[in-house]
Amino acid sequence: MGPMNGSAFSLAPVPGPAPAPPAALAGKRVRVETMGCRVNRHDAAQLGAALSAMGCLLAEAGAPFDIYLLNTCTVTHQADAEARRRARRARRRCPRARVVLTGCYAEVSPQALLAMPEVDLVVGNHGKADLAARIGALFEPAVGPAPGPAGRSAGGGSVSGAVTRALPDQGGDTRFFLKVQEGCDVACAFCIIPAARGRGRSMPPDDVVDVLIRAHAAGYREAVLAGIHLGGYGEGLGTHLAALVRRVLDETPMPRIRFGSIEPWGLSDAFVELFAAHERLLPFLHVPLQSGSASVLKRMRRPCTPEFYRRRVGRIVAAKPGLTLGADVLTGFPGETAAEFAEGLEFIESLPFSQLHVFPYSRRAGTPAADLPDPVDEAVKRDRVRRLIALSDARRRAALAAQVGTVSHVLVEARGRGHTHNNHPIRLLADPPPPRGRVVAVMVTGVDGDDLLGALAAP
Ligand code: SF4
């Protein structure tokens, strides 16, 4: 077990006996839902596993439940509204259930959620390690608070302890998703993540290697290494992402490794060299851009210029044939003029993106950008989003068409679906389809909507 940096890494797998489960949870039906990013999904799967280990039964969608647990997101106001809507709906569906909210919205605005009469317990990201025990306390009036307004509480707490003591639960995924980094120290002006998830911290490399060896032994053939700011992996541990990847390549048998999104300044020369040299590192990268205008990037307080981005990404595209490149783009940031938008669009058009995740800027209280003047008119923002999505759609169609006639190795997921090695969704034309979790060679034969179609090829 290596050292921890700053506060402990909250989801590190720690061997050892599990804490005694609160007896009150035995047999309780819990419905776990999640919103937002893949990291949140992973956290929710772990919370479900922890509750399950305490004797809870996981309820399917539509089934009655005794506990409703929602892992919230706060990336936009729409996400906040959706979380409140889901909490109200849960209360209507099962009036006697305990309604518990956790995640980023719960971390950033606990008072807003506590004000809702439908909500019994609010626990921020920093309290997730103890969440299952806190839920148990809701059912033990002699020990903890009763449900309802008098018993409602917000929880932060220290980032310590382990949610799981086994392999992180994958929520049924065929890929093994491993969060190796949490939090962020960068403080981009629009971003609530440093407030919602705290400072950067990383899973020690020894633990990453150990977990991946065990994941491979359990049958996983593809791992995704992810983090909130993955490029910041290892800060405070005296290491960095490329060193971790080197160890994963040398010390684990995992045949396919993908990466969650990496900020452009996280694409170090050492990482690019490794990424280019090893086929086990699959050719897909998502590198957030946010804006292609130098002045907007500066107001966003991103430690990056468009030219820096072009250099970093250009190097990696040249070094990794067949790479699929994606990016986040945020438009309508306060003060974004027509000229700045046009400059940004031109920059984006000049780069070989296959897909864009486009977001309209939404003011978040508690972020440095919240007080900036010159908000962009909503109709103008919608139009800019529409133009960026049109560009993304055209690029995605072209990228899919370019795959036809190529052979890819595909990890088979549910119902004969999968993703090519460079991360395009594909449907296998095989009846019956190969078993889930197997890697098969596939000839791409065509395109159907947003999917590729493929037939099994000789390995
Ligand atoms: S680097 Fe990413 S997570 Fe960190 S503040 Fe910027 S946008 Fe948010």
CATH of residue 64's domain is 3.40.50.280
State yes or no: pLDDT of 160 exceeds 80.
Answer: no
Cα(85) to centroid(ligand 1), Å: 27
Query: Which CATH number goes with the domain that contains 230?
Result: 3.80.30.20
148, 52: one domain: yes
Give the mean pLDDT of the chain.
Answer: 87
Q: Across residues 177-195, what is the average pLDDT?
A: 91
Ligand 1 pocket test target in 40, 107, 188, 299 with most atoms within 8 Å of CB: 188
Asked if residue 273 is part of any domain, the answer here is yes
Tell me the per-residue pLDDT of 19-36, one tens digit each, with 9 for 90 and over.
Answer: 445 577 888 999 999 998
391, 435: one domain: no
Q: What pLDDT was estimated at residue 22?
A: 59
Question: Exposure pattern of 5-33 as b/e (b: 16+ CB <10 Å)?
Answer: bbebbbbbbeeeeeeebbebbeebbbbbe
382, 449: one domain: no
DSSP classification of residue 5: P
Asked if residue 214 is part of any domain, the answer here is yes
115, 234: one domain: no
- Of 456, 457, 404, nearest to 430 by C-alpha is 456
State yes or no: pLDDT of 145 exceeds 90.
Answer: no
439, 358: one domain: no
Q: Rounded to an integer, what distance in angstroms lies between the CA atom of residue 302 and that of residue 298?
A: 6
Tell me the per-residue pLDDT of 235-252, one tens digit each, with 9 for 90 and over.
Answer: 989 999 999 999 999 999
Cα(263) to centroid(ligand 1), Å: 8
96, 196: one domain: no
Q: Across residues 439-444, what is the average pLDDT?
A: 96
104, 27: one domain: yes
Q: Which atom of ligand 1 is nearest to the CA of 197?
A: 3
Backbone φ, ψ for residue 308 (5° rounding): -60, -45
Residue 399 Cβ inside 6 Å of ligand 1? The answer reads no
Q: Rounded to an integer, what distance in angstroms lies between the CA atom of residue 99 and that of residue 101?
A: 7
Q: Which atom of ligand 1 is nearest to the CA of 232?
A: 1
Q: What pLDDT was estimated at residue 19?
A: 45
Residue 456 Cβ inside 6 Å of ligand 1? The answer reads no
Atom 8 of ligand 1: nearest residue by CA position = 191
308, 332: one domain: yes
Residue 169 Cβ inside 6 Å of ligand 1? The answer reads no
Q: What pLDDT was estimated at residue 220?
A: 93
Q: Helices marked H in 279-416 — which ranges?
A: 294-299, 306-319, 338-349, 378-403
Asked if residue 2 is part of any domain, the answer here is no
194, 256: one domain: yes
The helix-helix angle for 338-349 and 378-403 (nearest 10°) equals 10
Cα(229) to centroid(ligand 1), Å: 7
Confidence at 163, pLDDT banded by 50, 70, 90: very low
Q: Rounded to an integer, what distance in angstroms lies between the CA atom of residue 189 and that of residue 303?
A: 11
Domain count, the chain: 3
Distances (CA, A) of 149 to 35, 128, 136, 285: 25, 21, 17, 46
Q: Rounded to an integer, what distance in angstroms lies between the CA atom of residue 77 and that of residue 67?
A: 25
Tell me the per-residue pLDDT of 402-422, one tens digit each, with 9 for 90 and over.
Answer: 999 999 999 999 889 999 999
Residue 191 Cβ inside 6 Å of ligand 1? The answer reads yes
Residue 188 Cβ inside 6 Å of ligand 1? The answer reads yes
41, 129: one domain: yes
Residues 6 or more apart from 91 whose CB is under 8 A from it? 68, 97, 99, 118
Asked if residue 9 is part of any domain, the answer here is no
- Identify the domain containing residue 147 by its residue range: 23-155
Atom 1 of ligand 1: nearest residue by CA position = 186
Q: Residue 101: in which H helix or E strand, if any?
A: strand 98-103
State yes or no: pLDDT of 16 exceeds 60.
Answer: no
Q: What pLDDT was estimated at residue 8?
A: 40
Residues 6 or more apart from 362 whose CB is under 8 A from it? 75, 76, 77, 78
